[in-house]
Every structure is written in structure tokens, then in C-alpha cells.
Amino acid sequence: MKVSNSYIDITVNVPASTKVWHFAVILADVWLGENVSIGSHTEIGRGSVIHQGSRIGKGVFLPSASRVGENVFIGPGTVFCDDKYPRVNNHNYIARPPRIDDGASIGAGCVILPGVHIGAGAMVGAGSVVVEDVPAGATVYGDAARLVHSFSTSQDDSLETSPSEA
């Protein structure tokens, strides 16, 4: 079922059993399996594959070439990143899309960093920041962010270093 007000590239085949909700964007060469649900305001990047029975919540961003297994749950507002060093006009950009294996479940509002592999049946708690691979069957949660270094944007260009780097 395709809902109006969504953008679905003409190269995408949407099976009759698959639901694409309002204002979703599905770019070229995406493959969707049977009984998939794509939430409103979600973007699926070019060349991604989403296998049967998977549910992708509202406001999810999946970058190009992402791989989503069968019966995967991705909670609303989850963002997957594919660029380890994001900069405008980065000529050294190397895409590192995520891979999510069958039966994995990712809670709402997670951030999954570039190249992360989430194993079969793994569970990621809501609001988590996932910085490394999650083994099959594992449960992870929490925010892994920590201060590595900071720099001033003032004219003196002073550099502050975290205690762990001093």
C-alpha cells in the first residue's frame, strides 16, 4: 500500500503487502520485501535492501546501501550514519552503511554510527548511541559519547584537551 504524499523512486517495487506511510522518501534502487512497513517522514537511501516483515518507524534515516534483515524492528526517530568524518564537500568520503541482521530490535531515538553491524536477534535499548558492532543475541543500551577533545572557535584558536589526552 502506497500512501500519497510520499516520494518513491520509479525504480522501487513496492509489494502490495508493504505499507509506505505519509511523507516517506524512498530513493532509487531500494529493494523492499513483503509485509514491510515504512513509517512517515522516513528516508531510505539509494540501493538499500529491507527484507520481509521488517518495521521501520516514523522519522528513521537509513543511508544508502543499508542492509536490513527479516523481521527487524527499528523504532521511531532512529538515525543510522554512514560517514565517519562528516564534512561538506569531503572528497575523502567513504560510505560505511549499517547492517542489521534478522530479528534485531532497535528502540526509539537511537543513533547508530558508521559501519556498525547489529547481529541477529540483538536488542538495542531506546536512546542508545551504538559505536561498535552488537553481537547476535546481545542486549545493549546507553550513551557511549565522551569528550575526546575540544577546540575554540575564537580568533586565538586555542586548543583544549580532555584530561585523558593530557
Task: Provide the number of structural domains found in the chain.
Answer: 1
CA–CA gap between residue 117 and residue 66 (Å, rounded):
10
CATH number at residue 65: 2.160.10.10
pTM: 0.86
Containing structural domain, residue 37: 1-166
Cα distance between residue 74 and residue 33, in whole Å: 15
pLDDT in tens, the chain (166 residues): 666 699 999 999 999 999 999 999 999 999 999 999 999 999 999 999 999 999 999 999 999 999 999 999 999 999 999 999 899 998 889 999 999 999 999 999 999 999 999 999 999 999 999 999 999 999 999 988 555 555 555 554 444 444 554 4
